[in-house]
Amino acid sequence: MITSVKGTRDLLPPDTRVWNRVEAVAREVFALYGFDEIRTPVLESTELFVRSVGESTDIVHKEMYTFTDRGDRSVTLRPENTAGVARAYVEHAMAQAGRPWKLYYIGPQFRYERPQKGRYREFRQIGAEVLGAADAAADAELLVMLFDFLLRLGFTGVSVSLNSVGTEATRPAFVDAIRSFFSSNEKTLGDDDRRRLAENPLRVLDSKDPAVRQLVASPGFPKMVDLLPTLDPASDAHYRELKVLLVASNVPFKEDPLLVRGLDYYTRTVFEMTAEGLGAQNALLGGGRYDKLVSDLGGPKTPGIGFAIGEDRLIDVLPEAFRKVTIDDVRPVTLIPLDRNDVADALVLAKELRGAGFAVDVVTAAKGPGYGLKVAERSGAAVAILLGQKEREERTANLKDLAGRTQEVIPRAGLIEALRARL
């Protein structure tokens, strides 16, 4: 037996109904906020992620599916989608439109992580990016949209963790402060964290080592937000304005001065949301501002902000009511031809009912009423229609209500009306 590759999985019915419905709600909501879909390739040049996500991040350092193709180019299965969107923005000179772009995407991403519940090597993200909008109001609107989406899925009582990571103006001072904090504690650091401290001290905040996490959480650990008012008043003002706008928009948030996110391209605003049932290490979604990413990739100076929701995790913690309604939504009418001679009649009637908007399933193996009803019940049908010689000749249908367990012979002319009354 050949099985699926470790860390990948098949999504099967009826779960796929839930996936489709969640994606449909995302498309509906995002359209209401003026977003359009972008689809970028799953395969990108490796260089793109090295330059955007950053060489010292776990993603680039050890989680990418990178290989050399037959033309000797180093290519990578995208580990995230923001870099691809920014590349496309530059490649198609989208800045020339002279207005902000609001783009969303839904699709698979790949990271070579240790698989566990909620963590896969192939996973899917629902994300959105705004390119060309610098103001705090753009950050606020994006979060308003995110909460609107989550609310429509039935989530309540969720809140987002918020922080500002400043800009290059504050980065060197922050990095120095982290280095000097660890200078007396370097022995506590394992090999990975020592590498982080040397290459990019900000990444020490991603450490999963409990001893290091404890140090990072201690009161003496430097905080970027403390440096902002003196070193970068513009970023400080941006952060303060955002908080005012979020309060005014009823978006619940908690400030987390230790939140830095595991990707290098962020400037100013960063945010993340966790959910009960996912475990503290597994965020439901994350995002932030990246005002230098487009220019770092060779494009014009363009501010950007976005988020990505882990769709697998979202569906794991989806409110039960939404799941149930979605699964129960599709309840086909099942046509059961009793004999070979009744099959043509069933196919013609099926076409007619589908034309009237009913989902119709035909039990093509005409093996009698017992078998047909069993198939109908197992596939979740609400109504079964038995079609035999008698019904064909008398232009009737023998309608069985599977939930109510009633049976009625109805003239074909009144069948559509009778079904409408029941479904």
Binding site for ligand HAM (CB under 6 A): 80-82, 111, 113, 119-120, 123, 125, 127, 129, 262-263, 283-288, 306-308, 310, 312-313
Name the residue nearer to ligand HAM (CB basis): 310 or 372. Answer: 310
Question: Of 177 and 317, which has the nearer Cβ to ligand HAM?
Answer: 317
Cα 222 to Cα 257: distance, rounded to the nearest angstrom: 9
- Which of 287, 303 has the CB closer to ligand HAM? 287
Residues 6+ apart with CB under 8 A from 300: 95, 294
What is the closest distance, in whole angstroms, from the C-beta atom of residue 316 to ligand HAM in the complex?
9
Of 142 and 333, which CB lies nearer to ligand HAM in the complex structure?
142
- Smallest gap from Cβ 286 to ligand HAM, in A, equals 3
Closest contact distance (angstroms) between CB of 40 and ligand HAM is 12
Shortest reach from residue 132's CB to ligand HAM, in Å: 14
Q: Report the residue closest to ligand HAM, judged by CB.
A: 310
Which parts of 379-414 fold into alpha helices (H)?
389-394
Chain center to CA of 49: 20
Rounded least distance, CB 263 to ligand HAM, Å: 6
Supply the minimum distance, in Å, between the C-beta of residue 19 and ligand HAM: 14
| Residue nearer to ligand HAM on the CB measure, 60 or 308 | 308
83 vs 346, beta carbon nearer ligand HAM? 83
Instruction: List the one residue out of 229, 224, 131, 250 whose CA is nearest residue 171.
Output: 224
Question: In the complex, what is the shortest distance from the CB of residue 1 to ligand HAM, in angstroms, rounded to a whole number?
Answer: 25
Backbone angles phi, psi at 71, to 5 degrees: -95, 15
Residue among 166 and 262 whose Cβ is closer to ligand HAM: 262
User: Which amino acid is present at 18?
Assistant: V
